[in-house]
Each structure stands twice: as structure tokens, then as C-alpha cells.
Amino acid sequence: MDKKIKVGILGAGRIGKLHAENVAYRIPMMEIKTIADPYMNEGMEAWARGIGVDNVTKDPQEVFGDPEIDAVLICSSTDTHAEFIMKAAEAGKHIFCEKPVDHDVDQINRALKAVEVAGVKLQIGFVRRFDHNHKKVRDMVQGGKIGAPHTIKITSRDPEPPPIEYVKVSGGLFFDMMIHDFDMARYLSGSEVVEVYAKAAVLIDPAIGEAGDVDTAVVTLQFANGAIGIIDNSRSSTYGYDQRVEVHGSKGCVQDFNDLPSTTILTTKEGVLGDPPKWFFLERYNEAFAEELIAFADAINGDKEPVVNGADGLKPVLIAEAANISLREGRPVRLDEL
Amino acid sequence: MDKKIKVGILGAGRIGKLHAENVAYRIPMMEIKTIADPYMNEGMEAWARGIGVDNVTKDPQEVFGDPEIDAVLICSSTDTHAEFIMKAAEAGKHIFCEKPVDHDVDQINRALKAVEVAGVKLQIGFVRRFDHNHKKVRDMVQGGKIGAPHTIKITSRDPEPPPIEYVKVSGGLFFDMMIHDFDMARYLSGSEVVEVYAKAAVLIDPAIGEAGDVDTAVVTLQFANGAIGIIDNSRSSTYGYDQRVEVHGSKGCVQDFNDLPSTTILTTKEGVLGDPPKWFFLERYNEAFAEELIAFADAINGDKEPVVNGADGLKPVLIAEAANISLREGRPVRLDEL
Amino acid sequence: MDKKIKVGILGAGRIGKLHAENVAYRIPMMEIKTIADPYMNEGMEAWARGIGVDNVTKDPQEVFGDPEIDAVLICSSTDTHAEFIMKAAEAGKHIFCEKPVDHDVDQINRALKAVEVAGVKLQIGFVRRFDHNHKKVRDMVQGGKIGAPHTIKITSRDPEPPPIEYVKVSGGLFFDMMIHDFDMARYLSGSEVVEVYAKAAVLIDPAIGEAGDVDTAVVTLQFANGAIGIIDNSRSSTYGYDQRVEVHGSKGCVQDFNDLPSTTILTTKEGVLGDPPKWFFLERYNEAFAEELIAFADAINGDKEPVVNGADGLKPVLIAEAANISLREGRPVRLDEL
Amino acid sequence: MDKKIKVGILGAGRIGKLHAENVAYRIPMMEIKTIADPYMNEGMEAWARGIGVDNVTKDPQEVFGDPEIDAVLICSSTDTHAEFIMKAAEAGKHIFCEKPVDHDVDQINRALKAVEVAGVKLQIGFVRRFDHNHKKVRDMVQGGKIGAPHTIKITSRDPEPPPIEYVKVSGGLFFDMMIHDFDMARYLSGSEVVEVYAKAAVLIDPAIGEAGDVDTAVVTLQFANGAIGIIDNSRSSTYGYDQRVEVHGSKGCVQDFNDLPSTTILTTKEGVLGDPPKWFFLERYNEAFAEELIAFADAINGDKEPVVNGADGLKPVLIAEAANISLREGRPVRLDEL
């Protein structure tokens, strides 16, 4: 085994804790040196000790300034991402950053520039690329199993809406939720999006509309290679995390289905009853969250370009922006208009 | 059993033969009196005798003028539909007419007016409404199983393109193929389409493009009840007839899958191999074609409004027209613009 | 088309009516001349007229003695089968006979002898061989897709028990119900059964036990080719007709699943709910009942050995007898002991 | 969290390593103090260090004699199990022991006696009870979802045979492989086996027969509660680990299916191709291996009877012995004969 990569974790909210526990229990080639969170408190400290991390702080500088730390995992709020990327890059640390990098394209470009100058690795947390099902779809498309891609369909529906407080600061459905699907569209098609048409509505909770957002959306994508894409999103499936993709091509179709908690079915007069899909992203992408950090470690240890790099962080933001304009103006929007 | 309904069949091409054989072998409450086809020849006559029909003619007037005939099945080319509906109505005969009624809205309205004046039944051949799978989806939506509908998704992909000669006179993908899906969208949503956005491409055969048509299309629909719809069509799935629908609502999701020739699967090191979907509409909608005529007979015998009436024949034509404009002008088109 | 085969139907109970309606509506190469049933009455006559048959009688002799009749369908009670086969054979008529031929081996042998002497076709009504799913399993086994067969598993569970009056005269579960599975075992394995071990119980209704029968059974089979078989039967699945087979071999496994009324599924918080299997044999083997008569007509028209011949009628009876002895004596029984 | 349980691991072969890695990475409430293996060598030491264990030895006494060690995981060869259980019990350590406890019933009883006297916990490694699918089947049976159980069916087929050297010392298919299914039969039925009938053959590799064993087997079980069970085993499915169970009862049926590496399917003209089942027990029962140790830790921390206790270790051995006699003598064998 290569030398263990020492990481500092920035942000110990839900996603930060998830990554920390993965590093602690499932990723032997990494170890946590420090966890920094502005809201660090006793509970968080106890949790950190429980996973074997004694070094906790409110000050991110203790991470950036620590020469022992090889890499940072940026799991803090979106508005800090670009700044932390720049600081980490300047400190010569490899960077894993949660999505989205930022909502502002110029800010993203500044961050990517800093990474380029520093020559460090930057991987963006588009975790779905590491899902066993989606990855196999992509591999089959790449392997020519369906010929040239014609239609890419992505279904992505959350089990239940986030709190309204979250909705208000989320950047909106396209930036917060569909951003993953924009990445998936690029990943599956092997092509770039050139035009976006967005249709959306408030059907689940009027409060979401009052907060200036939508909760149900359908987006049509035109790809550079001629293929057409469709994404449908909902903030509330009610039954669990509905995550399916489908690629139709000149020689056939490849698709995947939801993972289920069990394969067990009960057959009675009422019908055949099976499990609903796994509840949410923590359950569905549980393995994928570990896989993405393993890939990050591999990129560092093998001095390779991360499989989801800075450009992959930028592109979905542009698509989300085009979707917002499309929705506002009721017309298809070309990315080269931006 | 009620008295057998005596029918005259107009047009003995593929679909006319299909209906004739269903009447002959599977629909005890109907019997064929006459089959009229302008291309009537020895082969067609032999086929007619084989199913027990001796009375064949080139002249549709032998059908309209025969007082013994209670109802007509219009299976001739689209350009004759409206005229034949009017003639049949004037002759006081009930009418089953294949889709689409016509490509011209005024012509359709004239035909519907004639039907209204005559007080005869008119049923349009939107056969998919009688499919066991789609019907169960609709029943569940109607029965409130998924609450209010939010997103309606329709996948409809033919196994292989029709001959170019057919493409040239087909009226285009939206009128010829997606017309069924426009009907399905109304059927599943229980609501009317108010706006259409069409995206399409020529990805399968350049000759289709040269003929002025597209072969791959994605259409977004806005329904009056707030729901959003998406339809994806392809002229060539390569693997069979891909016919699936999915309705997501405030309480869950109902969807169906393709029918397969068998449930048999082979498991080897290479994987689990099952049958591809049934090849085309004759296989998939085999039962539904009988069911729609049984429903037509029931409407006649029970003096009830047909389940797919004249208005149901008109609406999808309007949606198809809006889709054509949308595609041409690259913008969403409201039906009230038409 | 060959000349229509004129058939006489003996017995117009549930299965006789089924075959009669199939001949009337779905099998163009056959037509019914006469229907004979000892309980012929007004209701039965009305039903016969409804399917276009005017010639009805209580006397089977009107069938055997009619020189216009080419073939008989024996759908009467089991105790008349052998006698009717002999009479039909003597009259030079081809014979389709429902299963089982008889419970008495000597009687069966006499009937088969008469058929051989007369040189007529005899097909036994093991309808499941014509099921689209089971047939594909068999074809795959025969085609070498799984190599040499090692284990054959047959699940066959009725939705609900027959009336106790029927149980009493049924000949018992092995003769009445599992007889189909014994045929299926031979069909799938391509080998003969040499030993039988039966385990059974009364778990559903004590009245079945009081009638001297069992309602739940598991039978192990040893085949001549070395393979091992298992059959499980129940008189009451409660949820529908459970009919699945599975063949494991040196290169893989082929299996089938139940046919469902629809592919539609409802997904809610409670789970994914689909249709239970088709209710019973009339629904599941609906197509197969037509297919077996088409095969019978083909055997007659093409002067070919029927695909389920007299020997195929005898063998399952021997296996059923061995199963009865095994159950009584609590030990495996070899067929060469009989 | 409770204080971490310090464990000593006895045996660092495939299964010992698996448990050790689980403790190291996935089970926070346990930590490894010592790993003992008679073949301890440099490679094994390096592996141990890699998972953070420095304390390795050839001498099991270093485990039994270490007062810091709370519990042992016995992962050594079967012939040492009973002795190690007794030694651990005498040393007051809780015991997790891999299956089977022993092939000799007296020896097992002595071990269980020692455990009882010492008042320590003993859990047997019937890992399948912790599988998400089987567990849900069991929960549904226990929860009355299918009423009274009538038929229990267990399919258990390995992907490929073990090396002949292993076959020779394995104790035979019933002790080595079907022992898991005997446990599963008790687990699912909630009842005890009272009679066994075994049918088996050498169909995969004659060398297995020469080694005195069989490679394909079907066993019928009679349960005390009246239900009937069937188990089918094969040493070579060729396509992966086939692990399915099915329980039919008075109100319906519950069953499970294999876990697949992905839900992804490819549809082409050749059909629908999906993944074969996960390859073997390491893949299929990956989570279950962690779950069983978590349950063991819970039993220790909560001072509860382990969910798979000593009696559960003994019973399947008795059933295996009955199966061996049945196979040898060609007759059903009652457990009270033993």
C-alpha cells in the first residue's frame, strides 16, 4: 500500500461527517489529520473522537497551514467552496470539493486557475458517477454496446422536499438538485450540452414557490453530438430516491433501475409487494461515496487527472444557469449565449 | 347476446385485415357483411373467403348504400377518413375510424359535425387506451392511487423505420407516430394539453431528413391541471416495440413495462438473458385491437358514448400541429395560438 | 389452407366448452360438426348455437358413427376416456384426449393398442407443453444452452382447492394435479423418471384429508440421465396460479416466471405493488389451449406423430402410481417395481 | 458507545481475514488485540499490520491467556472448533465460532456444556441469517404475512466446486455446504426438522465422487409443525452464487432473489441482458458478515442470548448426519433415530 494520505476535512455537517466516517472505516489509504468546522462544539468533538480523530478546530487555517496534511475535503457551505479551493491550492494541497463549486462562473474560473497554477489535483463530488449502476450504463455506452447515443433520459426524484430554510439558500432546484443530472447527462452522453429548455412548476408545496423556487421540473437538452436529453426532477417522490437513467442508441438501449433494500417480495391476493427504492442518497450512494474518495486517493497516489475534474465542476453550473434563463424567459437557451 | 352488428370494412390493408380477422374470429357480437377496397384483387378475395366473407367490392358505396350494414370500420388511407365519416354518418351508420381522423382541423370539424347531426356513434382507433398495461395505469391514476398527477412520461419507440415512401406521405412523425402518445398523454393525465415544445433530430436515416421528416423526438407538454408531460419517440429502437408510460403524482408513481414474448430467462456466466419486448404493435396491441372493437360494439348495443369519441380524435391533431410549429420555430407553442 | 378438419366434441363441461370456443373462434383449420354430452340441456344448446354449432346430442354414438367427422376431442369425465379412445379409433377418427387417459395402466394400454391398430393420431391434452414460457425453457434445454441437465424444479400451485365432491372422485392429487408436472418433468429433462419419492400433507383443509387425499406435496424424481427433479404442489396458493419451472445444468440455468395480468406497478411508501399471477389455468394457459389444438390439426394435416402422443399419456400415470405407493409406504419407489 | 470489545482472532485464513478486516474497518464497537494462526508468517504479519494489528502469534494460548481479551473469533479449521470453544469458555471469554461447530455430536455437546458452565456468550457463524433478503423473508413469516408455513424451498448453488483437496477434508456436501441451508430451514420455518430424505449425485466432476462426496443434491425435510421443506444444492452453478428462498403459507408466499452487481440492463435484438448474480459468498454476504459481528457485540454489550446460539450450532449437524444416513441407505431418516 502507498503511504496513507493525510487529509483535513473542512465542514462537519451531514456530508462532511459522511466522508469522515468513510475515511475512518472504509478507506485504508487515507487518514484524517484534522477536522475544521466553524460550528465545532462538544457534540461534534465527541463524534470526531468516536471515529478516532482528536484534532478538531473552528479555524480552517489549521488545515491549510499544516504541512503534514496532503489533501483537503471541502464539505463546507457552497459559498466557501471557491475560496477554500484557492487557499488549499496555494498551500499545495490536493482538493476534493463537494458540488457545486460555486454559482458564479467567474468565481469558479478563478478557483480552477489557482488549481492549475498550483498543479494540485482537484476532484468534484459528483458522486453519482461512482454508482455501480450508472457507471455500468456509462461503460456500456462508452464500449459501443448501444452504438451512437440518440436519447438520454434521466429520472431523479428526491423522496421529500428539504426544509424551506434550505430551499431559500439552495440556489434553486437547477443549481442544487438537477446539477447532478447535468453532470450525469455529460457523463452518459460523452458529449457537451449546447442548448437547454426548462419547464417547471410548483406542484408539491406552495411555500417552495413563495421562496422563489420550483419543485417539479423537466429539462430538454441538445448535445453537441446530436443526441437529445431529458431530465425530470421532483422534490417529492414520497416513496424514496428515484434514480434511473436510460440511454437509447443506434444499436439498442441501456438503462438502470433503483437499488432496493431487499429483493424480497410478498405475494398475496392483493398482488406482489416488494420494497420501495432505497430512501435517499445516503442509502443509494453509500458505496459510491467511498468509491469517489478511493478514486481521489488513486489520482493522488498515481499522479493522474481526477475522473471528475475542475472542468467537470464548471460545465453543469453553466447548464444550470441556462436552465434558469430558459425557465424565466420561456424559451430554449443556447450555452454559447451565456 | 344482442343481435350481431353487421359491419362493412373500408380498406383491407394491414390494419383493415387485422380488424377483419378480429371480427371474424374473436368478436362474437359482430359479423362482416362487406369488405370494400379500391385495390380489391384475387388475393384479397381469397383472404376474405378464408375468414368467411364472400361479399367484396372495390366500391365503398356498396357499403354506405347497404341498409343491412349497421356500422363501418374505416381502415382506408388517412386522406379518405373525413369523407368516409361524413358518408357513413349521412347513411346513418355507426363509425369506427382509424387514427388520425385527418391532418386538417377544419376537415375534422366538418366530419364531427356530420356525426353529431346524424346522431351516430363515432369511435377513433386509439388502440393503446385498450392495452391491459396502460389501462391499468390510467385506472390507478383515476382511482387516486398516486394523488394529483405531476409528471407524465411516455416512451414510444418503434422497432424499425417505415419505408421512405411511407414516410413521405405519413404527415410526419408527430401526425403519424406521436399522435398516439398525444392521445395517451390526455388519457393518462385526465387533463388537456395547453402548450407544446418539440425537439427533434434525424439520427437514424438521413433519407428520413431528406423526406422532410425527423426520426427522433422529445416533446414537452404543459397540461391544464399543472402537470408536465414528456414524450420520447424513435423510429428505430432496433430491439422491438418500446411502449412504456409512467405517471408521478403527489402520493406515488404508477408505471408499466413492455410485454415480453415469454418470461423465460437464461442465466450463464455472461449474465441473465431474457426476451426483448414484443416486436411491434401487432404483437403488443393484439388483444387491445380486439378490445377496442368490443368497446365499439358495446357503445352501439348500449347506446353509449364511445370511450374514444370524435373530440378525442380532434385534440391530438391540434397537439401535433403545435409540435410541428414548435419544431419549425424553435419555441414552445400554446394550443390557443392555433 | 388445408381442408377444414371436422371435429366432434365429447363432453361439454368446462374444458369441453373451452376447446369448443377455441375451435369456433381461434382455430380456422377446424370446425365443429357435433357436440355430445350426456347432460345436454337447453342452456348447453343455447351456448352451442351461440358459437355456431346447431348439432348437439346426448349420444356419443352420433359422433363415432358420423362419417363426416374426422376427429374427436374427448373432454368427458376421466372414466370414459379409454373407452371413447377405443371407439373413436375403431371408427377411424383422430383423437385428442384430455389428461389423464385413465388411472388404470392396463386400460391405457388397451386404448393405445386400439389407436396403434387403427393408425389414427392420438394427442394427449398436456397443455402446458404449449405454454410460451415452458416451451422456451424446453427449447433452450434441448438447444444445449445449459449443457447437461442436473436439477429440474417445478412449482405448480393452484389458487384454491376444488370442491370436496371433486376431490373425492379426482383420483388424488398425484393423478389429478401433479400428473401435469410429471409430464413437464419428462418434457423438460428429455429423460425418463426411474424413481419417485413423495412427501405430502394435509395443511389446507382437513376435509381433503378426510376424503383420503393430500393438499400439499413435494416429490423427488430420479431421471434415467442422472438428473434429479423436484416438484412442489399445493391446492391453495391463495394468490393465483403459480406455475414456474427451472432447469439447472452444466452450463447454466433456464427458468420461467408467472404470467401477470399486467406489467403495471404502483410505487408508494408502502412499496412496489404489482399484479399477482394470472388466476388459474384458463387465464395462464389460454393461448396454450389454442396452440395444442393447432398442433393436433397440424399432426393430422401433415400426417405427423402428435407432439404429445399415447406413450406420453401413459408415462405420467406410472409416475403418479409410484408416487402414491411412495407416500403410502414412506420410501422411494422405482418405476420398474410397478 | 459502549467500551470497545477487545477480540482475539484464532485462524487467519480466508474467513479469519474477512472477519478481521470487518472488525478493523466496519465495526467500531470492536477492536482486535491479537491474531493467532499456526501458519503465521511474514505475509500474514504484513497484512495484520496493514489493518492496524501488531500483535500476532502462532500460539492460541496467547489469546486464551490474555486477560485483556474479552472475546474470541474462532476461524480456524473445523477440527479445532470444539477444543477452542472449551478453552475460551474456561478463560471466561465470549465466543464467536464459525460453522460447523464439529462433525461429532458428543464433541459439540461437550463444548456447549463448557459454554453453559462458564456463562459466556456463544454465537455460531450462520451468516445467512443476517442477509438483508433472507432476514426480511424470515421477518415476514414471523410477522404472519403468509399465515402458517406450508412449504419452505431453499436454493443454494455455489458458482464452482472447491479444490478436490478441500472436498476430501470437508466432511461432505451435507456438512460443509448444506449445513447453512439446514440452519436456514429452521430459521425460516420457525420449526424443527424431524425427518430427512436425501437424493444426490455426482454430475459435475467424477473426482468429487472418487473423493467420496456428491456434488448435486436435493433434500426433503419434514418439520415438526407439519410443513415440508426442499433444499437443492449444487457445487457448480457456473454463473455465480444462487441463493434464493421461498416460503409458501396459508395466506400467500414470500420469496427472495439473488443480489446483482448492478441493476443495469442492455436491450438489443438479442434480448435483455442483465448481470448474473454476485459471484460467491464474499460478495453476496459481505454486509451480513459485518452484521453478524455487530449482533455478537450487541449480545455481549447487552448481556443477551446471541441470535444464533449453541443449540443452533448443534441442530444442523444432526440434520446433516441424518442426510448422510438417508443417502447411504436410500430411505427417509427420522432425527429421533439418531
One DSSP character per residue, D234-300 reads ES--SSS-EEEEEEEETTEEEE-----S---EEEETTEEEEPPPPSSHHHHTHHHHHHHHHHHHHHH
- The ipTM estimated for the assembled molecules is 0.95
Of C138, C335, C104, C305, the residue nearest C222 (C-alpha)? C335
Q: Which residues of A touch D29 (CB under 8 A)?
A: none
* Average pLDDT score, chain D: 96
Could you tell me which chains touch chain A, where touching means 3 or more CB pairs under 8 A?
A: B, C, D
Query: Closest to C264 (Cβ–Cβ): which among B1, B133, B252?
Result: B133
Q: Delineate the domains of chain B, giving CATH numbers in brackets.
A: 5-120 (3.40.50.720), 129-280+316-337 (3.30.360.10)
Q: Alpha-carbon distance A104 to D178, whole Å?
A: 62
Q: Do A275 and C272 touch (CB under 8 A)?
A: yes
Among D142, D251, D256, D262, most A C-beta atoms within 10 A, so best to mutate, is D262
Q: Which chains touch B (3 or more CB pairs under 8 A)?
A: A, C, D
Q: Residue C1 pLDDT more than 80? A: no
In degrees rounded to 5, what are phi and psi of residue D221? Answer: -120, 140
State yes or no: pLDDT of B291 exceeds 90.
yes
The residue of chain B with its CA nearest to that of A157 is B248
Contact by Cβ (8 Å): C10, C63: yes
| Separate counts of helices (H) and strands (E) for chain D | 13, 15
pLDDT digits (tens, 9 = 90+) for C159-179: 999 999 999 999 999 999 999
Look at residue D196 in the predicted model and tell me its pLDDT: 98
Using CB atoms, pick whichever of A218, A227, A237 lies closest to residue B220.
Answer: A218
Beta strands in chain D (DSSP E): 5-10, 30-36, 56-57, 71-74, 94-97, 122-124, 149-157, 193-201, 216-223, 228-234, 242-249, 252-255, 265-268, 271-274, 333-334
Q: How far is C259 from chain A (nearest CA, A)?
A: 12
pLDDT exceeds cutoff 50 at C187 = yes
pLDDT in tens, B217-250: 999 999 999 999 999 999 999 999 999 999 999 9
CA nearest D160 in B: which residue?
B269
Per-residue pLDDT band at A319 (split at 50, 70, 90): very high
pLDDT digit string, tens, across residues A100-113: 999 999 999 999 99
Q: Which triple of cell numbers denotes residue B229?
A: 408531460
3-state class (DSSP) for residue C290:
helix
Burial of B152 (0-12, 13-18, 19+ CB in 10 A): buried
Confidence of residue A2 (pLDDT cuts 50, 70, 90): low
- Report the chain C residue with the minimal C-alpha distance to residue A270: C276
- Interchain contact, B271 vs D276, CB within 8 Å: yes
A276 to chain C: which residues are within 8 Å by CB? Answer: 267-272
Instruction: Name the minimum distance, in Å, from the CA of D268 to any CA of chain B.
Output: 5
Q: Nearest CA to CA, how far is B143 from chain A (Å)?
A: 16
Alpha-carbon span A31 to D246, nearest angstrom: 44
Digit-coded pLDDT (tens) for C120-153: 999 999 999 999 999 999 999 999 999 999 999 9
D52, pLDDT greater than 60: yes
Which chain B residue lies closest to C141 (C-alpha atoms)? Answer: B266
Give one DSSP letter per residue of A44-100, joined into a string. Answer: HHHHHHHTT---EES-THHHHT-TT--EEEE-S-HHHHHHHHHHHHHTT-EEEEPSP
Closest C-alpha to A258, from A98, A127, A128: A128
For residue C256, which residues of chain B lie inside 8 Å, CB to CB? Answer: 262-265
According to DSSP, residue C159 is labeled S
Cβ distance D266 to A146 less than 8 Å, yes or no, reads yes
Q: Could you give the count of Cα atoms lying within 13 Å of A127 in the half-sphere of its Cβ?
A: 20
How far is B54 from C225, CA to CA, in rounded Å? Answer: 56
Which among B227, B336, B197, B202 has a CA at the least distance from the CA of A333? B197
By C-alpha distance, the chain B residue nearest D277 is B271
| Closest in D150, D155, D242 to C203, CB measured | D150
Instruction: Measure the CA angle with vertex D102, ends D99 and D105; round to 5°.
Output: 125
Cβ of C259: how many Cβ atoms within 10 Å? 23
Residue A252's alpha-carbon distances to B214, C180, C276, in angstroms, are: 19, 39, 30
Read off the pLDDT band of B73 (50, 70, 90). very high
- Residues of chain D that touch chain A, judged by Cβ-Cβ distance less than 8 Å: 1, 25-26, 28, 50-51, 132-133, 135-137, 140, 145-146, 251-259, 261-269, 275
Q: Do A268 and D259 count as a contact with CB atoms less than 8 A apart?
A: no
Q: List, for residues D68-85, the tens digit of each pLDDT value.
A: 999 999 999 999 999 999
Note whether D200 and D330 are within 8 A (CB): no
The residue of A49, A262, A267, A278 whose CB has the most chain D CBs within 10 angstroms, and thus the best one to mutate to test that interface, is A262
How far apart are the C-alpha atoms of A262 and D330, rounded to whole Å? 39
- Confirm if C194 and C271 have CB atoms less than 8 A apart: no
